[in-house]
A and B are shown apart, each in its own frame.
Chain A
Amino acid sequence: MGSVWIREGCPSYTRWNPLMNRYVARCCFNLSLVWFVAIVWSSAAWLHAQTDSIDFDRDVAPILARACLHCHDATSQKGGLDLSSKDRAFQGGEQGRVLMPADVDQSELYQRVVVDDMPPDEPLPEGDKEVLRRWIEQGATWGADPIDPFRYSNSNRAGYDWWAWQPLKKPIVPAQQDSNWGHNEIDALVLAGLQQAKLPPSPTASGRTLLRRLYLNLIGLPPLLRQSTKVNSQGRPYVHESLLDLELDLDDFAGNETTYKLVVDRLLDSPHYGERWARHWLDVVRFGESQGFERNRIRENAWRYRDWVISAFNQDMPYDEFVRQQIAGDVLYPGELEPLLATGFLVAGTWDQVGHKEGRPEMQKVARQDHLEELVGAVGQTFLGLTVNCARCHDHKFDPLRQRDYYQIAATLAGVHQEVDERSGIQVSVEDGPHQRWLVERERLHQELSACETALRERYVQGESTSVAEGLVASYLSEGAEAKSWNSWFNPQESVQLLPQPNGAWATNQPASPLIRSLSSANEFTVELWLTSHTLTQQGPARIVTISLDTGQRNFTLGQLDDRFDVRLRTTKTDGNGLPSTSTPPGSVTSDKTHVVVTFRSGTVHVYVNGRLAAEQSVDGDLSNWNDSFRLAIGNEVSGDRAWQGNVHLLAIYQRALSAEEVVQQFTTDSASVRNAAPVSQLLGQATDLERATYESLQGTLQRHLAAEPPKSFVGVAHVPQFREPEITYVLARGNPRTPGEAVAPGGLGLLAACGLSPDFALPNDASDAARRERLAAWISEAQNPLLARVIVNRVWHYHFGRGIVDTPSDFGYSGGRPTHPELLDFLAGRLVEQGWRLKDLQRLIVTSATWRQTSAPPKHAAWEIDGDNQWLWRANRRRLDAESVRDSVLAISGQLDRQLGGPSFRDLDVSTDGPNVFFRDPKTEIEPALRRRAIYRLWARSGSHPFLDSLDCADPSVSQPRRAETITPVQSLTLLNNPLMEFAAAKLIERLTVEHEVPRESDAKALEPEVLVSQLFQSILGREPNTEEQAACVRLATTHGAVHVAIVLFNTNEFMFIE
């Protein structure tokens, strides 16, 4: 396994290769395997040499390149000898000729080699000596002249034959043998390695461990568990996980494939997934929200790129597209906002304002070249795992990258500039553009339709005023036990019916699509009910009325949570479950018949109970992302597992928000207008042909209009590059702008030519900026580019396992690590490309593998000694929580995490200015509401790292950070014990547990017993019950000094701080 990168058909590895030294020293298995393969190969090459005539390029040049040219090439010429070109080689060195065709005895080269005098460090293997002998005997015919020093890898550097830039190879996935271990191809490939290494895989981790691992790994938040009322077949309690609103049987979780996969899917669908994985990406692309250097001005709008990344991950944008947009989104999609924001990548790094703008011209040129080097470095390392930036002053020391390669890439980016001020007035389409006109037209059609309906009502409905009923789109009436009626005002021809369900609830027989679309397009609505609740201790929340798919995905739900009404509303800024929710105060629900109205308009939710305002909350975002495939249900969740005990007497849904006065009117008249309202279909039956035709035509026009929403316009500021037409790029001797050499055209890297990626972009020296970046984006994202797929697959693997298959995620060259599982790497890379570059698919495969699900703490056995570093993946790696996960988890558990998505960054440090300079100091000690969002939303300014996060290895974003350290220090311990955040969260958690415990039952509303509180703290923070000793110690602490200290202690435990 370990030696598979010794490629078939590649003559450069015909022997034991000292390149592997460093890697092999770390694992004794590799040693034996590599030796094994090396021996086989050596003899194969030797046999080859015995039977065929010698071909210089195939047989000899690799040996010279590997073993001789390091000292004897055109630049080094030790002893005056240059073996890299034909003439010089036959000319010989200071001591005369070294090659005499057909005369081995007079050929000094062979004579020195055969007695191991040369090469000085390491003798040539016998096979190679034999090749040289036969070559000379056969007349020492030369081949390609001169020998390209980059063509072959040797003990000092990588050549074009280096494993990482060879085409992807589709490995043969071993069939599952003897073992009942493993689920998928990953396991088969890992198991093959384990079997060779004679290591057994470890058992699956416990349900509790796996659940926590999944949550923290995929969304960066812990599961929030509380005991549920449900029990499993053994009578053991389920847990209620409130983040995704799931009921889980932890006893069964590890073994129940269906539930496990459901949780995986839910997590991948959660908007928090994007937040988690965007943070990883931002680490890699050195995303910072200030310039750095002396001025260090804040980039007020850099967050738009951060939001673009989050959204791209959430949408599962194909990775090749993700890459293209970051390099040339503006060129590929002219006039569109999102792809333009993607180019924020190009200007996410540091920028020296003084150097670029304030010094003398010469200095500005140096600053510009330094900046280009940073940019070339970011592009090369991020997408290709190549340190192209190292070739600015000279050819790369370790990889086959010429100085010219560097300048070709630099030329592709030469139009990218930054300025002192953020790019202002980014206008993707003008303000009164297509979207604005669309909105106006939509409003007009709504009004026209509404006027038409009013006219029909005035004409054909007798008696009651109908003003309140305007905008009524559906109603449900329950008169007594039997008579239930459902009127939908939509599409008279295709009726969405509300039918009784086996569980006693009512639900539509098909998606309530017309209803949903009407509310979504109006972007306001009212849901009005008359109801009677049967009990005040209902949990879930129990669903009174819902428009949803299941317990985790909804557009809207009104529920009952003990004696509170609870509204979940999905907008573009909430999660798919409509959280956070809006709740009325305790005591809102009584056992009397109650009038409840929920309205949404202009970003505010109002809840009225019996005509009075009971809750008001602003909810950012709009309803444009409502899913129109959901059904409507009354009295239970659509999936049937959140039953509400009570009666709904009336339900009315309007495509507008009723005013407070109208709500009072409905309450006082017992909603007479709804009861008297007739569906439009009924009215149309009485109407004239002309009236009917007018109405239906208008309705058709509106439907077509809604389906044709143009992209939204944007007028504002974003931190994206200033693109300018570039000057001609020159190779700069020693990277110095004062010593320009030859001009270079924009182009790619020669080392990928073997994969069919020509470095020639067919562009002139003075090509436009747009053409340059478009070609670069296309070249990098070619499906044949093996680096693009290998590098991203390895990054994803790294974040799932704590270490990549290659342990240097941004360097696949000679200085980087070697793959522990090269076949697996190629399998995953090939699969990614085949499946359309979808990362979620790759991640689903990884987290559902048995490999990933192993326990991190198998009992003591030989593997601990043989492979203590777990290179062969015989167990899971124990990992310390990263900085953001600590902070976000503590806030989430205490119930204080603000889960709003996106938007401007919050500032957790004092920002000061001193003249033109900005600096950051003094972390805020008040945990004010704005600071309770996820850490990814803080202002990631340079030199503005927060000491709390800092102590947990969350470094400043000045350079790319493809791997985070996991240190343990006393300063970190002081922070975790003493920081105001920990005390705040601990106090809030106690408060929450106490309130929740006291609210429902007035009869026993006494202070929470310490025993109960301690047990609930364990449940909340560690997801389990304490054992007797733990219970005793913590109760003692709670009684002596207060329970807040128990919470702080639990947040500090190893059990909390590590993911097992």
Chain B
Amino acid sequence: MEAKSDRRDFLSQAAGGVAWMAAMDLLLRDRALFAQDQPANSSTSASAGSDGLHHPARAKHVIHIFLGGGLSHLDSFDYKPELEKFHDREMPESFGEAAPFMGKAGRLHRPHFEFKQRGQSGLWVSELFPFLAQQADELTVVRSMVAETANHIPGIFQAQTGFRLMGFPAMGAWLSYGLGSLSENLPSFVVLPDARGIPADAGGSFNWSSGFLPAQHQGVPFNTRGGAPILDLQPAGQWSAQVQADRLAVLHELNRQHLATQEHSDVLAARIQSYELAAKMQVEVPAAMEINSEPEHVTRAYGIDRDECRDMARNCLAARRLIERGVRMVQIWSGDGVSWDSHDDILGAGHRGHLGEARRIDQPVAALIQDLKLLGLLESTIVMITTEFGRTPYAQADAGKLSRGRDHHPEGFANVLVGGGFRSGLAFGETDEIGYHAVQHPVTTYDMHATILHQLGINHERLTYYHNGIQRRLTNVHGHVVHGLLE
């Protein structure tokens, strides 16, 4: 109570004077883990350290590259030489029953790309990702992921929000709520959709929704198709900077007069400040997205000169620039939601073919990792490359036949983590000989979320928010930190 009163007084006194900006900074950077006074129903438990975190953090930022549709672990990061042996055969019964999503279980199919051991770590990475392969010593591959559903949308929602149902806050929103922003001029959680469009086939904005958390924690999708990065960043009427400045001045004057007549008006003062921040955002957002200001050798390294990966290169570069400016989490979408869904042709070079999608992202993502490392940012930034489920070791074809496609498969697949205190060059967990079931150290989505939160200094069981009868958390009632992944 005491702290609250003090701050309120400070705000109402400050709101008219020069100090109000600093004061508002306090308000807007409010975050659950650090707040002394909890709103009635949005409690988090008391914090451990003086910085408010539950334990010391290994990382501060997250860049999440999401490969919606289901990346085939068998053709990328989970090498199964046995599949060569079993190629064009029925799946032996010892591996369990084939239960394809689309109802067609063909014969087992060997990897569609050649696998090699890479770097000093000897991590297996296929030729699907030649550039990423060169960064193998930076990667932590989780080969024993398991998901709860073979259905895209519930799976994607779960990967983002922990829940298969819609309407729950995304991890980025939880981070914004728990940790606040490190930048006063940029949103805490930024989403960079694929230039081909927002991931509409995957539920669109649900994937960065703040759910029942306050709206300020919602992911802000930047426009990556040209034009202003944020909606309404500039006036519809295209008014000059002078006009905008003049009307802000009048607005401030009216609000200041109004404020002077009010008692205990921190919320009024906060609105006044929000206009100042909005004005800064008008400058800062385009600046952060100004890719052309990067040296040419950098942009070329990301592949901006190559048609097939230019869009992703821009997003990866933008992500680095946003992280540098204090954005807590950037989510980059590869594809329009389910572009990795190669039912027909893993080797397809176009949309919904693994080869085509991989060529769009391989060089930019590899460059991002290297760039972050060179800048010393990889230590404090977790790069996640994840997907909602993997693909079947058997072809999607009629019984007894082969094809170049594979069906949805949630019982064992791979995610990749980079930086942020993860053990690099590590292949963690195992699937069985044909990559069907995770058999060693299965890792659930809840475990993955719990572990990411852990690296950011958060105990996933203690970051909660009351909603409709329950103290909700990202990991529902599940989740264990996977210590084997950590340095």
The CA-CA distance from A968 to B214 in the complex, in Å, is 10
CB pair A943 B204 closer than 8 Å: yes
Is B281 interfacial (CB-CB < 8 Å)? yes
Is B288 interfacial (CB-CB < 8 Å)? no
Is A370 interfacial (CB-CB < 8 Å)? yes
Please provide the chain A residues from 944 to 963 with a CB less than 8 Å away from any CB of chain B in the complex: 945, 947, 950-953, 955-956, 958-962
CB pair B264 A868 closer than 8 Å: yes
Query: How many whole Å from B170's CB to the nearest CB in chain A?
Result: 13
Is B200 interfacial (CB-CB < 8 Å)? yes
CB pair B166 A350 closer than 8 Å: yes
B319: which A residues are within 8 A, CB to CB? none
Is B230 interfacial (CB-CB < 8 Å)? yes
Please provide the chain B residues from 79 to 118 with a CB less than 8 Å away from any CB of chain A in the complex: 99, 101, 103
1/0 contact string of A968-1002 vs chain B (CB within 8 Å)? 11111111011110110000000000000000000
CB pair A354 B259 closer than 8 Å: no
Query: How many whole Å from B261's CB to the nearest CB in chain A?
Result: 7
Q: Which of A387, A811, A945, A972 contacts B205 (CB 8 A)?
A: A945
Q: A868-B8, A1045-B247 given as contacts; is B214 within 8 A of A815 (CB)?
A: no
Q: A810-B468, A974-B232 given as contacts; is B151 within 8 A of A355 (CB)?
A: yes
B202: which A residues are within 8 A, CB to CB? 294
A293: which B residues are within 8 A, CB to CB? 153-154, 166, 203
Please provide the chain B residues from 219 to 272 with a CB less than 8 Å away from any CB of chain A in the complex: 220, 230-237, 239, 243-244, 246-247, 250-251, 253-255, 257-259, 261-264, 267-268, 270-272
Q: In this complex, what residue of A is CB-closest to B156?
A: A294
Query: How many whole Å from A572's CB to the nearest CB in chain B?
Result: 36
Q: In this complex, what residue of B is CB-closest to A399?
A: B469
CB pair B203 A978 closer than 8 Å: no
A370: which B residues are within 8 A, CB to CB? 164-165
CB pair B468 A294 closer than 8 Å: no
A1055: which B residues are within 8 A, CB to CB? 254-255, 258
Query: How many whole Å from B256's CB to the nearest CB in chain A?
Result: 10
B263: which A residues are within 8 A, CB to CB? 857-860, 864
CB pair A959 B167 closer than 8 Å: yes
CB pair B247 A1029 closer than 8 Å: no
B255: which A residues are within 8 A, CB to CB? 1053-1055
Is B150 interfacial (CB-CB < 8 Å)? yes
Contact count band on B? 35 or more
CB pair B187 A1041 closer than 8 Å: no
- Count residues of chain A with CB under 8 A from any CB of chain B: 99
CB pair B232 A979 closer than 8 Å: yes
The CA-CA distance from A711 to B205 in the complex, in Å, is 44
Is B3 interfacial (CB-CB < 8 Å)? no
Q: In this complex, what residue of B is CB-closest to A1058?
A: B268
Please provide the chain A residues from 781 to 828 with a CB less than 8 Å away from any CB of chain B in the complex: 807-808, 810-811, 813, 815-817
B40: which A residues are within 8 A, CB to CB? 26, 807, 817, 869
The CA-CA distance from A354 to B201 in the complex, in Å, is 12
Taking each of B165, B187, B233, which has the highest tally of chain A beta carbons within 10 Å of its own beta carbon? Answer: B165
CB pair B101 A381 closer than 8 Å: no
The CA-CA distance from A729 to B226 in the complex, in Å, is 54
B293: which A residues are within 8 A, CB to CB? none
Is A967 interfacial (CB-CB < 8 Å)? yes
Q: In this complex, what residue of A is CB-closest to B184?
A: A970
Is A121 interfacial (CB-CB < 8 Å)? no
Please provide the chain B residues from 136 to 150 with a CB less than 8 Å away from any CB of chain A in the complex: 149-150
B99: which A residues are within 8 A, CB to CB? 360
Query: How many whole Å from B458's CB to the nearest CB in chain A?
Result: 22
Is B74 interfacial (CB-CB < 8 Å)? no
B264: which A residues are within 8 A, CB to CB? 860, 864, 868
Query: How many whole Å from B208's CB to the nearest CB in chain A?
Result: 11
Query: How many whole Å from B162's CB to the nearest CB in chain A?
Result: 14
CB pair A970 B254 closer than 8 Å: no
Q: A919-B204, A978-B236 given as contacts; is B277 within 8 A of A970 (CB)?
A: yes
CB pair A815 B212 closer than 8 Å: no
Query: How many whole Å from B237's CB to the nearest CB in chain A?
Result: 5
CB pair A983 B231 closer than 8 Å: no
1/0 contact string of B384-409 vs chain A (CB within 8 Å)? 00000000000000000000000000
The CA-CA distance from A293 to B202 in the complex, in Å, is 8
The CA-CA distance from A143 to B235 in the complex, in Å, is 75
The CA-CA distance from A632 to B278 in the complex, in Å, is 57
CB pair B230 A971 closer than 8 Å: yes
Is B134 interfacial (CB-CB < 8 Å)? no
CB pair B466 A808 closer than 8 Å: yes
Q: In this complex, what residue of A is CB-closest to B166?
A: A958
A1052: which B residues are within 8 A, CB to CB? 251, 275
Is B471 interfacial (CB-CB < 8 Å)? yes
A983: which B residues are within 8 A, CB to CB? 235-237
Q: In this complex, what residue of B is CB-closest to A1040?
A: B246
* 9-residue interface stretch from A69-77, A330-338, A562-570, A1030-1038: A1030-1038
1/0 contact string of B148-174 vs chain A (CB within 8 Å)? 011111100000000011111000000
Query: How many whole Å from A1057's CB to the nearest CB in chain B?
Result: 7
Is A728 interfacial (CB-CB < 8 Å)? no
The CA-CA distance from A816 to B471 in the complex, in Å, is 10
Q: Which of B203, B205, B206, B468 contacts A960 (CB 8 A)?
A: B468
The CA-CA distance from A281 to B204 in the complex, in Å, is 26
Q: A923-B231, A967-B216, A980-B236 given as contacts; is B468 within 8 A of A387 (CB)?
A: yes
Is A544 interfacial (CB-CB < 8 Å)? no
Query: How many whole Å from A637's CB to the nearest CB in chain B?
Result: 38
B214: which A residues are within 8 A, CB to CB? 953, 965, 967
B41: which A residues are within 8 A, CB to CB? 807-808, 817
Q: In this complex, what residue of B is CB-closest to A26?
A: B40
CB pair A1049 B206 closer than 8 Å: no
A363: which B residues are within 8 A, CB to CB? 101, 149-151
Q: Which of B43, B203, B469 contacts A390 (CB 8 A)?
A: B469
Q: In this complex, what residue of B is CB-closest to A964?
A: B215
A960: which B residues are within 8 A, CB to CB? 468
CB pair B278 A292 closer than 8 Å: no
Query: How many whole Å from B415's CB to the nearest CB in chain A?
Result: 22
1/0 contact string of B40-69 vs chain A (CB within 8 Å)? 110100000000000000000000000000
Please provide the chain B residues from 255 to 308 with a CB less than 8 Å away from any CB of chain A in the complex: 255, 257-259, 261-264, 267-268, 270-272, 274-275, 277-278, 280-282
Is B457 interfacial (CB-CB < 8 Å)? no
Is B419 interfacial (CB-CB < 8 Å)? no
The CA-CA distance from A407 to B233 in the complex, in Å, is 50
CB pair B205 A1054 closer than 8 Å: no
The CA-CA distance from A950 to B247 in the complex, in Å, is 24
Q: A945-B205, A969-B216, A973-B277 given as contacts; is B250 within 8 A of A978 (CB)?
A: no
Taking each of B8, B254, B469, which has the highest tally of chain A beta carbons within 10 Å of its own beta carbon? Answer: B469
B198: which A residues are within 8 A, CB to CB? 919, 921
Please provide the chain A residues from 1 to 45 with a CB less than 8 Å away from any CB of chain B in the complex: 22, 26, 28
Q: A983-B236, A1049-B254 given as contacts; is B8 within 8 A of A959 (CB)?
A: no
The CA-CA distance from A292 to B197 in the complex, in Å, is 19
Is A482 interfacial (CB-CB < 8 Å)? no
Q: Which of A26, A865, A955 contacts B215 (CB 8 A)?
A: A955
CB pair A973 B275 closer than 8 Å: yes
Query: How many whole Å from A709's CB to the nearest CB in chain B?
Result: 44
Is B211 interfacial (CB-CB < 8 Å)? yes
A813: which B residues are within 8 A, CB to CB? 469
The CA-CA distance from A177 to B193 in the complex, in Å, is 65
Q: Add 13 more A-B contacts to A293-B154, A868-B5, A956-B167 (CB < 8 A).
A: A294-B201, A811-B468, A815-B470, A816-B469, A858-B263, A919-B200, A942-B206, A971-B220, A977-B235, A1029-B257, A1033-B254, A1045-B239, A1054-B268
Closest 8 CB pairs of A and B: A919-B200, A387-B469, A958-B167, A959-B167, A970-B277, A980-B236, A811-B469, A973-B278
Please, could you name 19 A-B residue pairs with CB atoms under 8 Å apart, sorted by A?
A: A28-B1, A352-B154, A355-B151, A363-B151, A381-B468, A857-B261, A868-B8, A868-B264, A878-B267, A923-B231, A925-B236, A960-B468, A961-B212, A969-B215, A970-B278, A1029-B253, A1045-B246, A1052-B251, A1054-B258
